[in-house]
Structure formats: structure tokens, C-alpha cells
């Protein structure tokens, strides 16, 4: 049953060229991340006396201000970015599902409180908040991951809440409630499996957002200096744009490709799961 | 209407309170002495003690919160560690530059984005539509500051068409119209950065889906049945109705827009809040960072209030509750 569902999912997914492209880039990035020690030609931390060499055969992406090989650093950076993206999206997903299902399912005061909270949340410039916290508490990668994850969950919660609200009055859910199932059982076995896909789509997009946020923080000097991340490379690159364009160009391009693939995959899942997007509606082209 | 505006203004109070409590909590949870955080790591022992007295940090925690609230009400956000001047004064000075960048980019992106998105919806499924969608998802996936760096590389350093730093050229000693032109010349690349890599793709997407929704409505079919040309149906009936959701979304995006502006300013040395924030991070100027968090939150809340009012004026169907 599950396998045939997957096959039919993939069959529809395949119709969307862009989504397939996204999946290919994602696969490629995962391979890079896993195989980084094998693929990267040099140690990403190894400093040499060849400072600022432009791209050449020996160093295809050139070297940086400390003579480190930029290609190796970009390859290793894939690890940090992927880890960061999945970590943040995972935290945000877990918090969002729990904190969205509760107000959606129980309604009443809890739901009012959540709605008020969400309105307030929308008005808070989260980037500034993250910057304030990170600059005071320090720049450990896992700490940054938690903080970013904790600031992203409300959008997942809002979507989960709407889905729970829409599904809880449906006959199959009511039947389960009527036959005495516990609240937890109703939520987790009947409501969520049927309403989870918009949350998954949102999480995919959040992975992209998380990677961009990490890059932004690093660019502002709030990255984890013990990690090789694309944001770190860009942070150093900004001081040498005039002399060493290659430092900025390749790492930024890598960020763009990874974020792009998450956006394309997110759109792709949406395309499969939301039949309204596939039907041609409103004959606007004539 | 008046009642609605007052209610919306009252609704801003919890936002500001929550932001202030956040600030307070962060300082108290932070490792180390709050007085040292507020006085600066290099401050003398006397200055640390003076700071402790000033914020009442030797008193019970609930009294501290009340004291903090009261000093903020008086407009006392503390002194910047880097400039030894009141934080509020310094921040207010930086607002106009940020506002100029944000408003210009928002305007450019809304107009361009809506038109491109509408074109995409009109040609739904065509090659043009696919090209537009793909380009906007690529632009949207770029780190905005990286796009800025690339523009600096190409148009600033290589081609030398545009300045790459600041808001004016002080060495040219311009005044009057010359100065205005000079500012606009400096504004060009930052606006292109913020619009192209950040805002326009969002508006394209919003406008495309909202035009497609509207095209399904009965009144469009009625307009077609009346024998109106497709262009009249599209521009007079569909596009105008599709604009409203775009305006609402624009209001909801303000916090997001601000983040983009902060990053853009950093790259171009644009002397607004973002550049100031960047410098404050470098100088570990925590009172300033805390002030920036409060002020930017208030700015976003006020801007979203204005958007709501404009929206209510534009759409007669909106009922004030």
C-alpha cells in the first residue's frame, strides 16, 4: 500500500521538470556532503603561502586570504549547510506540529491565545531578535540552529492548526472520537497523517530559509568560526571583493543552488499533493 | 473608522511589551553579570557600578522590570557603548536612510512584481510563464547580500557605473539638485539588490496566484459573456481585483522586508539601521542592539497599521470590527 502510494507520488512528481531538477541538485549536494573527505582536493583548514591565487588548474576556485583552497572549503561547507537546514526545519516542524495541533483541536481560549500570539509574532523582526541573542550568547553552530528553529515554528503551527481545524469535524475523525479513541490517538493517527502535507511543503521551504539565515548571520560576523560554512567564506570575502572575486562568487553560488533545490522540491511536493495546481483553471491564455 | 484605528493602536501595546520582556529576559539569562553586558566588557569598575545603580540591577527582579519599562517610556534606552550618546537618538538618526531604501524598493517591487506576475498568470502554462517562475525562484534563492556583492563586482568595480559605498559623495561637495541626483545614484544598486533578490520574486508569486484565482470568478465569466475584449477583462476586471490580496500580503511581509534591508545596507555601507546594527555587532554594543530590536519592532507594527488602514480605504468590502 505504502509502496504503491510512493510510486504514484513519484509518477506525478516526475511530470514537473523543475521539481526533478531540484531533487537532482539535492541528491548531488547530499553526495558532496557525505563524500567531502574523499572529494575535496585539500584540507579546508590547511593554510598555505599561496594567498589570493585566482582560479587555476591546481585550485579551480582559487585560494583565500589565508591561502586555503576555496573549492575544498565550498565542498566541506555543504555539510554544515545541509545539517543546519535539516536541523532547523526539524526543530521547527516538531514544535509547529505540537503547538499548532493543540489550539486547532481544542479550540476555545487556547486557540484565541494562539491567534493573538501569531499576530504578535508576525510583527517581530525575527532576524534582529536572532542577532541580539546570538551576539550576547555566543556563536556555537548548534545553539544558532536551535535559536533559528525556535523562531521559525509559528508558521508551521499556523498551517497545522488550520489543517486540524478543517479535518476535525470530518466523519472519519468524528467516528474515531465516537468510538472512544483518546485525543492523542485521534490527532496523531487520523488528523495529522491526512493533513500533514502543507506542513511538509513549508518545512522544505524553511530549510532554504534556514540556510539563508545562517549565511546572513555569518556574513554579519555571527557565524561559528570553528565550522567551514559558506556564510563564513562570504564573511571573509566581503573584505576582499576588490582583490579576490572568486572567494565571494563560488560560495554564494553554492548557497543559491542549495536553497533553490529546496524551493523547487517544496513546489514539486505541492504540485503533486494539491490537485488544484495541476488542473488548468481560468482560461486566461486565450 | 476612528474606532478601528484606535483599536489597532491599542493592539500594538502587547507587541511592544513582549519585545521589551524579551530584551529583559535575554540580558538576565545571558552568561555573566547584566551590569557588565550593559556597561560594556571594557568598562571601568565604577562605570559598571553606575550602570547597576542606573538600571536598579541590585534590586529584586520584578522591580528591575518595572524600572526598565519606566526608563524606556521616558525614552531612555541607555547609552551606546561605542558613541557614548543616547541609543534612541542614534537610532532615530538612522531611520530616514532605511526608510528611503525600504520604501523605494517596496514601490519598485510592488509595481514590477504585480505586472510580471499578472503577465505570468495571463500566459499560464506557456514558455513565458515558466521562464518567469523559474527566474523568480532563482532570484528568491539568492542570499540578498551576495547578490549585492555581485552587483558591486560587476557594476561598481569592473564597469564603474555606480558608487559602491555610502549614500553621498562628500568629496564632490554637491548641493540642491546635484545632491538629490547623487543620492539617487547611490540608491540605485541597493534598490536593485533588495528588489530583485528579495522583494520582486515574492510579489510575482503573489500576484500570479491571485490573478489566477480571480480569473475563476463568476464576474470574469460575466464580463466575457458581455463580449468585452480579453484585454479589458484582464486589466479592468481581473488585475484590479487581484491587487488587493497583494496589498494585504505586503503588510504582512514588513518584518521580512526589514531583514532584507538590513542585510542590503551592510553590503553597500548604506548609513541606515542595518549598517548601524552591523557596527554594533562588531563593537559588542549591546544597549544599541537591544534598542534596535525594540525600535525595529515598533516600526514594523506602525507600518503594518498604516498598511491596514490603506487597505481598508482601498477596499469598500472591508468592514471595521
- Scanning A94-153 for CB atoms below 8 A from B yields 116, 119-120, 122-129, 131-133, 135-137
- Secondary structure, 3-state, chain A: CHHHHHHHHHHHHHCCHHHHHHHHHHHHHHHHHHHHHHHCCCCCCCCCCCCCCCCCCCCCCCECCCCCEHHHHHHHHHHHHHHHHHHHHHHHHHHHHHHHHHHHHHCHHHHHHHHHHHHHHHHCCHHHHHHHHHHHHCCCHHHHHHHHHHHHHHHHHHHHHHHHHHHCCCHHHHHHHHCCCCHHHHHHHHHHHHHCHHHHHHHHHHHHHHHHHHHHHHHCCCCCCCCCCHHHHHHHHHHHCCCCHHHHHHHHHHHHHHHHHHHHHHHHHHHHHCHHHHCCCCCCCC
Give the ranges where B164-239 is alpha helix by DSSP (H). Answer: 177-194, 200-214, 218-225, 230-232
Question: Which residues 6+ apart lie within 8 Å of B151 measured at CB?
Answer: B189, B192, B193
Least Cα separation, residue B173 to chain A (angstroms):
26
Q: Is the pLDDT of residue B270 over 90?
A: yes
Inform me whether the pLDDT recorded for B186 exceeds 70.
Answer: yes
Q: Chain A 54-93, CB below 8 Å of chain B: which residues?
A: none
Contacts of B19 in chain A (CB under 8 A): 124
SS3 B85: coil
Q: Are residues B267 and A282, on separate chains, in Cβ contact within 8 Å?
A: no
B278 to chain A, any CB pair closer than 8 A? The answer is: yes
pLDDT value of position A281: 43
Give the 3-state secondary structure percentages of chain B, helix then strand then coil, rounded to 5: 80, 0, 20
Mean pLDDT of chain B: 88
Q: Kindly provide the ipTM of the predicted complex, given to two decimals.
A: 0.90
Q: Is residue B143 within 8 Å of residue A229, measured between CB atoms?
A: no
Contact B266 A284 (CB under 8 A): no
Output the nine-digit C-alpha cell for A220: 554579519
Greater model confidence, B128 or B239? B128
* Contact criterion met (CB < 8 Å) for B138 and A133: no
CA–CA gap between residue A127 and residue B204 (Å, rounded): 24
Residues A41, A60: Cα–Cα separation, whole Å: 10
Four-way CATH pick for A2-39+60-285: 1.10.1740.10, 3.40.50.150, 1.10.3720.10, 3.40.50.300: 1.10.3720.10
Find the mean pLDDT for residues B294-309.
Answer: 87
> Are B293 and A263 inside 8 Å of each other by CB?
no
Alpha carbon of A36: minimum distance to chain B alpha carbons (Å): 23
Reported confidence tier of residue A23, pLDDT bands at 50, 70, 90: very high
Angle, alpha carbons B174-B91-B165 (nearest 5°): 40
Alpha-carbon gap: A128 to the closest alpha carbon of chain B (Å): 6
What is the rounded average pLDDT of the residues B263-272? 94
- Which chain A residues contact residue B282 at CB under 8 A? 221
Query: How much is the pTM?
Result: 0.91
Contacting residues for B2 by C-beta, under 8 A, at least 6 apart: none
Among A48-62, A87-101, B207-221, B234-248, the range with the most confident prediction by mean pLDDT is A87-101
In the 8-state DSSP scheme, what is residue B41?
A: T
Indicate if the pLDDT at residue B109 is higher than 90.
yes
CA atoms in the 13 A half-sphere facing the CB of A64 = 28
Give the pLDDT mean for B183-191: 94
Spell out which residues of chain A touch residue B301, defining contact as CB-CB under 8 Å. Answer: 123
- From chain B, the residues in CB contact with A132 under 8 A are 23, 26, 289-290, 292-293
> Which residue in chain B is spatially nearest to A21 when comparing CA positions?
B134
Q: Is B138 in the A-facing interface, judged by CB distances under 8 Å?
A: yes
Query: Nearest CB to B301: which of A123, A208, A264?
Result: A123
Q: How much of chain A exceeds pLDDT 90, in percent? A: 52
Pick left, alpha or beta for residue B176 (phi over 0 → left; psi -120 to 50 → alpha; otherwise beta): left
Closest CA to B276 of B38, B77, B146, B91: B91
Contact status, residue B264 vs residue B101, Cβ threshold 8 Å: yes
Chain B contact present for A51, CB below 8 A: no
Predicted confidence at residue B319, as pLDDT, reads 61
Distance CA A207, CA A21 (A): 17
CA atoms of A217 and A95, how far apart (whole Å): 23
What integer pLDDT is reported at residue A283 of this predicted model? 38
DSSP reduced 3-state for B305: helix
What is the distance in angstroms between the Cα of B46 and the nearest Cα belonging to chain A? 22
| C-alpha distance from A277 to closest chain B C-alpha (Å) | 10
**How large a percentage of chain B has pLDDT more than 70?**
98
Closest CA to B80 of B251, B279, B241, B309: B279
Q: How far apart are CA B114 and CA B241, in angstroms?
A: 12
> How far does the CA of residue A256 sit from the closest CA of chain B (Å)?
5
**Average pLDDT for B63-88:** 88
* CB contacts, 8 Å: A74 with chain B: none
pLDDT at B60 over 60: yes
Mutate to test the interface with B, among A113, A121, A125, A239 (most CBs of B within 10 A): A125
Q: Is B204 on the interface with A (CB under 8 A)?
A: no
Tell me which chain B residue has its CA closest to the CA of residue A132.
B289
Residue B177 Cα to chain centre, angstroms: 27
pLDDT of A30 higher than 60: yes
All three cell numbers of A142: 548548534
For B248, the grid coordinates are 494585504
Give pLDDT, residue B124.
87
Could you identify the residue written with the cell 530616514? B96
Question: What pLDDT shows up at residue A282?
Answer: 40
Of A123, A126, A281, the CB nearest to B212: A281
Helices B144-151 and A197-219, packing angle to 10 deg: 50
- For residues B11-50, b (16+ Cβ closer than 10 Å) or e, as one string? ebeebbebbbebbbebbeebeeebbbbbbbeebeeeebee
pLDDT in tens, A124-159: 889 999 999 999 998 999 999 999 999 999 999 999
Q: Average pLDDT in the B45-54 region?
A: 85
Confirm or reject contact between B224 and chain A (CB < 8 A): no
Contacts of B12 in chain A (CB under 8 A): 123
Report chain B residues whose CB lies below 8 A from the CB of A283: 215
Q: Which helix (H) or strand (E) holds B37?
A: helix B34-39
* Domain boundaries, given as residue ranges, for chain A: 2-39+60-285
Mean pLDDT value of segment A72-101: 95
Work out the pLDDT band at B127, boundaries 50, 70, 90.
Answer: very high
| Band (A278; pLDDT cuts 50, 70, 90) | low
| pLDDT score for B136 | 93
Query: Nearest by CB to A286, which of B23, B146, B230?
Result: B230
Q: Which residues contact A150 (CB under 8 A, 6 or more apart)?
A: A91, A92, A95
- Distance CA(A156)–CA(A92), nearest Å, equals 7
Band (A41; pLDDT cuts 50, 70, 90): confident
State pLDDT tens for residues A208-251: 999 999 999 999 999 998 888 999 999 999 999 888 899 899 99
CA distance A229 to chain B (A): 14
Is A212 an interface residue toward B (CB < 8 Å)? yes
Residue with cell 526539524: A90
**Are the Cβ atoms of B18 and A120 closer than 8 angstroms?**
yes
Asked if pLDDT for residue B312 goes beyond 90, the answer is no
At residue A285 the predicted structure's pLDDT band, cuts being 50, 70 and 90, is: very low
- List the grid coordinates of A80: 554544515
pLDDT at A1: 53
| Residue-level pLDDT at A85 | 96
Question: Which residues in chain A are closer than 8 Å to B212, comparing Cβ atoms?
Answer: 281-282, 284
Amino acid at each position: 500500500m505504502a509502496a504503491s502510494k510512493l510510486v504514484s507520488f513519484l509518477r506525478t512528481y516526475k511530470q514537473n521538470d523543475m521539481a526533478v531538477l531540484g531533487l537532482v541538485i539535492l541528491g548531488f549536494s547530499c553526495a558532496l556532503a557525505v563524500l567531502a573527505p574523499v572529494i575535496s582536493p585539500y584540507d579546508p583548514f590547511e593554510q598555505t603561502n599561496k594567498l589570493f591565487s585566482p582560479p587555476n588548474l591546481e585550485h579551480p576556485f582559487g585560494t583565500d586570504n589565508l591561502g586555503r583552497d576555496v573549492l575544498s572549503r565550498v565542498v566541506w561547507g555543504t555539510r554544515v549547510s545541509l545539517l543546519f537546514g535539516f536541523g532547523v526545519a526539524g526543530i521547527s516542524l516538531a514544535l509547529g506540529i505540537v503547538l499548532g495541533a493543540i489550539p486547532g483541536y481544542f479550540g476555545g481560549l487556547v486557540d484565541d491565545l494562539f491567534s493573538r500570539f501569531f499576530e504578535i509574532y508576525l510583527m517581530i523582526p525575527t532576524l534582529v531578535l536572532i542577532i541580539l541573542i546570538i551576539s550576547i550568547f555566543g556563536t556555537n553552530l548548534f545553539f544558532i540552529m536551535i535559536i533559528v528553529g525556535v523562531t521559525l515554528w509559528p508558521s508551521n503551527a499556523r498551517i497545522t492548526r488550520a489543517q486540524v481545524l478543517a479535518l476535525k469535524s470530518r466523519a472519519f475523525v468524528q467516528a474515531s472520537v465516537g468510538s472512544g479513541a483518546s485525543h492523542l490517538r485521534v490527532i496523531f493517527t487520523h488528523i495529522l497523517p491526512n493533513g500533514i502535507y502543507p506542513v511538509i511543503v513549508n518545512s522544505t521551504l524553511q530549510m532554504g530559509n534556514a540556510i539563508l539565515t545562517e549565511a546572513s548571520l555569518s556574513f554579519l560576523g555571527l557565524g561559528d568560526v570553528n565550522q567551514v560554512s559558506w556564510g563564513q567564506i562570504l564573511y571573509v570575502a566581503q573584505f576582499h571583493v576588490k582583490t579576490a572575486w572568486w572567494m565571494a562568487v563560488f560560495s554564494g553560488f553554492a548557497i543559491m543552488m542549495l536553497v533553490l533545490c529546496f524551493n523547487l522540491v517544496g513546489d514539486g511536493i505541492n504540485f503533486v499533493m494539491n490537485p488544484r495546481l495541476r488542473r488548468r483553471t481560468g482560461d486566461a491564455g486565450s | 473608522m476612528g474606532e478601528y484605528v484606535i483599536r489597532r493602536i491599542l493592539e500594538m501595546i502587547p507587541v511592544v511589551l513582549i519585545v521589551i520582556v524579551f530584551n529583559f529576559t535575554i540580558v538576565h539569562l545571558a552568561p555573566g553579570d547584566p551590569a557588565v553586558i550593559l556597561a560594556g566588557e571594557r568598562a571601568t569598575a565604577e562605570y559598571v557600578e553606575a550602570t547597576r545603580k542606573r538600571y536598579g540591577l541590585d534590586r529584586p527582579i520584578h522591580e528591575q522590570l518595572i524600572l526598565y519599562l519606566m526608563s524606556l517610556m521616558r525614552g531612555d534606552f541607555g547609552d551606546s557603548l561605542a558613541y557614548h550618546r543616547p541609543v534612541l537618538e542614534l537610532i532615530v538618526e538612522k531611520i530616514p536612510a532605511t526608510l528611503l531604501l525600504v520604501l523605494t524598493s517596496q514601490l519598485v517591487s510592488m509595481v514590477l512584481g504585480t505586472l510580471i506576475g499578472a503577465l505570468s498568470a495571463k500566459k499560464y502554462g506557456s514558455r513565458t510563464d515558466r521562464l518567469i517562475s523559474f527566474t523568480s525562484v532563482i532570484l528568491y534563492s539568492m542570499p540578498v547580500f551576495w547578490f549585492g556583492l555581485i552587483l558591486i563586482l560587476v557594476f561598481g568595480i569592473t564597469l564603474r557605473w555606480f558608487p559602491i559605498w555610502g549614500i553621498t559623495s562628500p568629496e564632490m561637495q554637491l548641493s540642491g539638485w546635484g545632491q538629490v541626483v547623487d543620492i539617487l545614484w547611490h540608491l540605485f544598486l541597493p534598490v536593485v539588490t533588495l528588489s530583485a533578490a528579495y522583494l520582486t520574486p515574492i510579489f510575482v508569486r503573489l500576484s500570479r496566484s491571485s490573478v489566477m484565482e480571480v480569473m475563476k470568478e463568476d464576474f470574469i465569466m460575466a464580463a466575457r459573456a458581455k463580449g468585452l475584449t480579453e484585454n479589458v477583462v484582464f486589466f479592468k476586471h481581473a488585475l484590479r481585483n487581484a491587487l488587493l490580496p497583494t496589498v494585504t500580503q505586503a503588510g504582512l511581509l514588513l518584518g521580512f522586508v526589514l531583514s532584507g534591508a538590513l542585510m542590503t545596507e551592510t553590503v553597500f555601507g548604506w548609513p541606515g539601521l542595518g549598517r548601524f546594527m552591523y557596527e554594533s555587532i562588531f563593537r559588542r554594543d549591546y544597549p544599541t542592539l537591544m534598542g534596535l530590536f525594540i525600535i525595529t519592532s515598533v516600526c514594523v507594527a506602525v507600518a503594518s497599521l498604516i498598511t491596514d488602514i490603506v487597505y481598508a480605504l482601498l477596499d469598500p468590502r472591508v468592514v471595521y470590527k
